[in-house]
Every structure is written in C-alpha cells, then in structure tokens.
Chain A
C-alpha cells in the first residue's frame, strides 16, 4: 500500500499521523497565531530589546493546577506576564442555571477542591436569604466547626506547597500528616474526603457522629503541639525566611485596588475579615482574633496563615464546648421555589472572600448564580506583583497568594 504524499495545499488535521510539517506545530507557542485583540495584548506580545518569551504551563508542576503563564523576560528578570486561563473551565454557572437548587451545591463543590465547604457555604447562604429560612443553631455550629477544620487542612496544604515551590521537600510530607487526619475526620462526618457536598439549604446533611468526634478529640489533644512542630520546620529556617521575606510586596492601597481579600489583604495590615467585619452565622458568639501583619510580603502571608490555624483551633474548641442540641435541618419542602428576588452572600474562606449572587425567577432552578472566587482575583494580582522579580521567584510569589485553579477557571 502506498501512502499518499501530502501536498502543501492539502488541509489535514494536526493529529493525522501521515502529516509532514516543515515547522513544529507548537500548540503552546507563546505568541498567539492570531492578530492582537486589544492594545494590551499587542503591547505584551511585542518584544523589546533583549527580551524573550517563556511559556510556563499548562502542565508545569508548580502552577497548582492547569494554568499557563506567558512570561516576558529580560535576562532573568520578569518584565511582564500574561496568564492564559480556561483550561479548567467547566461552565459551572451555566450548569447551575439548569439544575435545581439542591443540585447546584454539588455543582459548585469542585470549584474549590482544597476547601470545598466554603464554596458551598456562600451559595447555600444566598439561597437561605432568598427563602427567608432560619438555620437551626446546631446546624450553624456544625457548619462553623467543619468549616474551620477545612480551613486548617487548606492552610496545612498551603504550607507544604509554598515550601515545595521554594525548594523544600520535607514540609509537604509533614503537612500531609495533619491534612490526612483532618480529611479522614471530615470523611467520617460528610462521607467524602474531598468534595464534601455536606451543606444543605437550611442546615447540614448529617449530624455529628461517634467516629468524627473521637477522631477530632484525639487530634485536638495534640493539634497545638503538631502545628508548633510543623511551623518550626519553616519559621526558623534561615534559607526559607530570607528567601520569602521582601518577596512580592504589596502595599495597602494597591491591595484594595486589586480587590484582594483574605490573608493576602490582612498581610498588608488591613484587618478585613468578614467573620468580624460583616459577621454571619454564629461567629459573633465566638472569641477569636484577626491577626494582621504590616510587611505585605510572601513571608507575612505565610506567617498569617499559620497564625490563623491557631485561631481556628480556638474556634473549634469553643464550638465543641457550646454545641447546642436540636435539629440540624430547617423544615423546608423538597422542591424549593423561592419568590422572585436577589440575594448576595459572602463568607470568609481560607483564601479570601467567597461570594454568591443568586437570582430567583420563582421556578425550582436559579435564574442566575454568580460565584465570586478569591483565587481568580489573587491570580490577577500576580500580574501586578511579579514584574521586576526573578524568574525563580515567579512560583514563590504565586504560591504565597495561594490560588486554586479550580476556582479560577470555574
């Protein structure tokens, strides 16, 4: 059998094995194969004297997901960057418009796969506002309890990742010990290790059980010591501290203009934490501090998150102490048809403010559900923090802002 020789005019798809190409196909060529769409794109993709492009991702191990960043370098200095998103886009908001209110909870779950509970919390609260339903107090306590556990597991993972991106392998192994313990705990409570699908409109899916409580009791008795031991690995490590301090500094005004929230904003000295500044759930009844730092660099962001872990342990202690009896679900019909209206709810997650804007048109499906994810905002801030830094610091700065690509790409 003779193989037909392709001619230049013949149009073939790139996965045709018979194809012969003079040049590499270059799926991830840094320069896009179409004319620039905006001024900014034209400016970015024009090289100055001595500059070059480097394409990082979408399969780079330290991008924390499927992210592609085109970097414009001058020697080893980053001049500018252009993050290319969408590799993980699932169209969750559209899917939610075509699912009923209960189903949307499992749709938004995988957005933030490191701390799913917070991504459920915001839309669930928005729906409760639409329905004017009051959540039983026990359910609120369970929500806060499981939420704070989730926050600790998320920060534990952050600590490991951050150190890994700075070149230290040990902390991630250590932090996974704690994370695994918490994840097993939450699995006993919710039935899932990662995508919990636990919060319900008007309450939570299951009551506290023996396995969860005994695991939690076990862990709490040694948690403070473990956290101290883990943070000692890094806090007193001179290489780590000198590498991370002064890296990716952001001042207060810039942080607000960039719409940053969470620990990244508090690291600049602004005590903005929705649990105190715009109280929701039962947080007003609990005692805890909002730690802030004034440096605004990567080290400050890291230290703040470790400080938050200690505050979360305090909250968990109080929740267990004050846990009231009673129902865990409000009385609601199976099929929810909220009156037409709009509601916005926001909660403070480990990465910042998670928000949900829900519009009801009186049917059993939300007319529109907008999810606001802090990772999206913080990844955008990388573009403002990075220029002027070295290529090797790119990932360190990005990791210190702690974005999760599942939330960025929705």
Chain B
C-alpha cells in the first residue's frame, strides 16, 4: 500500500472523487463520474507526477443496480495498481467517453465491453460487436441475462430462454437481480 500516493490522489482530484480513495493489498481505487473520465485519465496519463502510461485492463461491470467501467493502470511512480472506476452509469443507457485518444489499444477492450454489457463508448470509431454475431441483440454479461440452467437464481425458478432482448419494459423486476456493492 502506498499511503503517499493516496494523499497525492486526494490532493489532485479532490473535487472529482465520488467516493473515498480505497487501498487494499497492492491496489488503490478511486471513483469518478462518467463525465470526468476524459479529464481524469488524461491528467493521470500526462502529468509526470502520476505517469500512468500503461492501461492494463478495461472492464465493464453490471452491479445489478447500475453499470461501471473499470480501468486498471500501471505507472512506475507508485508501487500500487491504480483502479479507476467510472461509477453510476444507468442500466438503461450506459454511456461513457472513450479513452482511445490516449490508448489506441483500448478500442477492442471497449468493443468487448459494448458487446457484453451494451455500454456505449462515445468517441470510439469502431464500436460494434466483437465476439457475438452482428444480428445478436442481447448483452450476455448483464445480470438480467440468465443462463439456461441457472434455475436457482431465476425469478420463475425455471428454465428461461437464453437470449433476452435488453428492454427496460420486459427486464426482470428489480428485486430479483443478483446485486453487489462493487
């Protein structure tokens, strides 16, 4: 854990953080709003005091109540991994700015997150499905997409159809989704 790094983050991004800076093992975690993604990541990337030039991973997360986009960054200015969570995207229409202007390699990671969660990355020039066929309409990693044999968790306690079109009107009633404080 790099305590000094936590103070530097709090000093620099104080007004943008939507939650406390959390540290555990060799990870430091900050939370920001989706609208601040461009500025925050550009500062982290460009400012030599941070120097986060390596984007290690970009992941979409469906917490059951809202969506997140999670960035894992690496820099030689700290011994910690930095996790930036763009928090609180709506499940109906998740939107977040693309980071392809900093890392061209994020393009496919964003395509994957779009394919699996339906998160729209504004500014990605090639946001189309990457794994699933083009005529596919579901977003498989969303929590309201049930596997056929996942009868224990499905609200009807029976087998459901594999593909569900994501539509707030026919999505599962809120209280049956698996949720986490993520």
What is the interface of chain A, defined by CB distance below 8 A to chain B? 32, 34, 37-41, 85-86, 89, 91, 93-95, 97-98, 129, 256-261, 272, 277-278, 340-344, 346, 353, 355, 357, 359-362, 367-368, 370, 372, 376-377, 380-381, 384, 409-410
The answer on a CB contact under 8 Å between B125 and A368 is no
Q: Given B55, B74, B132, B180, which contacts A367 in the complex, CB threshold below 8 Å?
A: B180
The answer on a CB contact under 8 Å between B180 and A340 is yes
Which 7 pairs from chain A and chain B are nearest by CB? Answer: A259-B105, A361-B180, A40-B126, A370-B59, A86-B131, A89-B131, A258-B105
B40 to chain A, nearest CB (A): 18
Q: Once the chains are docked, how many angstroms separate the CA of A367 from the CA of B64?
A: 10
The answer on a CB contact under 8 Å between B130 and A85 is yes
The answer on a CB contact under 8 Å between B29 and A342 is yes
Cβ contacts A to B, 24 pairs, < 8 Å: A38-B128, A39-B126, A41-B128, A86-B129, A94-B140, A94-B141, A256-B54, A259-B103, A259-B106, A260-B105, A342-B182, A343-B27, A344-B72, A355-B57, A357-B72, A361-B178, A368-B59, A370-B59, A370-B61, A377-B105, A377-B108, A380-B105, A380-B107, A410-B131
Q: Contacts A98-B150, A359-B180; is A384 near B29 (CB within 8 Å)?
A: no
Segment of B3-11, B76-84, B86-94, B165-173 engaged in the interface with chain A: B76-84
Chain B residues lying within 8 Å of A39, measured Cβ to Cβ, are 125-126
Chain A residues lying within 8 Å of B137, measured Cβ to Cβ, are none
Q: Once the chains are docked, how many angstroms separate the CA of A291 from the CA of B128?
A: 38
Q: Given A93, A372, A409, which contacts B56 in the complex, CB threshold below 8 Å?
A: A372
Q: Is the interface of A mostly helix, strand, loop or mixed?
A: mixed
The answer on a CB contact under 8 Å between B182 and A278 is no
Contact with A along B93-132 (1 / 0, CB 8 A): 0000000001111111100100010000000011111111
Q: Is the interface of B mostly helix, strand, loop or mixed?
A: loop
Smallest CB gap from A278: residue in B: B74
Chain B residues lying within 8 Å of A376, measured Cβ to Cβ, are 108-109, 112
Chain B residues lying within 8 Å of A257, measured Cβ to Cβ, are 102-105
Chain A residues lying within 8 Å of B180, measured Cβ to Cβ, are 340, 359-362, 367-368
Q: Once the chains are docked, how many angstroms separate the CA of A35 from the CA of B95?
A: 24
Chain A residues lying within 8 Å of B140, measured Cβ to Cβ, are 91, 94
Q: Once the chains are docked, how many angstroms separate the CA of A38 from the CA of B125?
A: 7
Q: Contacts A40-B125, A86-B131, A129-B25; is A346 near B104 (CB within 8 Å)?
A: no
Q: Contacts A86-B130, A355-B56; is A361 near B179 (CB within 8 Å)?
A: yes
Chain B residues lying within 8 Å of A409, measured Cβ to Cβ, are 131
Q: Contacts A37-B128, A258-B105; is A343 near B25 (CB within 8 Å)?
A: yes
A365 to chain B, nearest CB (A): 9
Q: Given A32, A372, A380, which contacts B57 in the complex, CB threshold below 8 Å?
A: A372
The answer on a CB contact under 8 Å between B116 and A93 is yes
The answer on a CB contact under 8 Å between A94 and B182 is no
What is the interface of chain B, defined by CB distance below 8 A to chain A? 24-27, 29, 53-57, 59, 61-62, 70, 72, 74, 76, 79, 81, 83, 102-109, 112, 116, 125-135, 140-141, 145, 147, 150, 178-182
The answer on a CB contact under 8 Å between A258 and B104 is yes
Chain B residues lying within 8 Å of A32, measured Cβ to Cβ, are 134
Q: Once the chains are docked, how many angstroms separate the CA of A343 from the CA of B56?
A: 14
Q: Once the chains are docked, how many angstroms separate the CA of A129 from the CA of B81?
A: 13
Q: Once the chains are docked, how many angstroms separate the CA of A340 from the CA of B24?
A: 13
Q: Given B74, B131, B134, B145, which contacts A34 in the complex, CB threshold below 8 Å?
A: B134
Q: Once the chains are docked, how many angstroms separate the CA of A336 from the CA of B108?
A: 33
The answer on a CB contact under 8 Å between A277 and B76 is yes
Q: Once the chains are docked, how many angstroms separate the CA of A151 from the CA of B68?
A: 34
Q: Contacts A278-B79, A372-B56, A377-B105; is A41 near B131 (CB within 8 Å)?
A: no
The answer on a CB contact under 8 Å between B182 and A357 is no
The answer on a CB contact under 8 Å between A98 and B56 is no
Chain B residues lying within 8 Å of A367, measured Cβ to Cβ, are 178, 180, 182
Q: Once the chains are docked, how many angstroms separate the CA of A360 from the CA of B106?
A: 25
The answer on a CB contact under 8 Å between A37 and B105 is no
The answer on a CB contact under 8 Å between B26 and A278 is yes
The answer on a CB contact under 8 Å between A89 and B182 is no
Q: Contacts A91-B140, A346-B56; is A38 near B126 (CB within 8 Å)?
A: yes
Chain A residues lying within 8 Å of B147, measured Cβ to Cβ, are 94-95, 98
A23 to chain B, nearest CB (A): 20
B124 to chain A, nearest CB (A): 8
Chain B residues lying within 8 Å of A343, measured Cβ to Cβ, are 24-25, 27
Determine which residue in A40, A257, A272, A344 has the highest number of CB atoms from chain B within 10 A of its CB, and name it: A344
13 new A-B contacts, CB < 8 A, other than A41-B126, A93-B141, A370-B61, are A37-B134, A86-B130, A129-B25, A257-B104, A259-B54, A260-B105, A342-B29, A342-B83, A342-B182, A346-B56, A359-B180, A380-B105, A409-B131
A368 to chain B, nearest CB (A): 5
Q: Contacts A94-B141, A260-B105, A340-B180; is A353 near B56 (CB within 8 Å)?
A: yes
Q: Contacts A38-B126, A272-B54, A367-B178; is A278 near B150 (CB within 8 Å)?
A: no
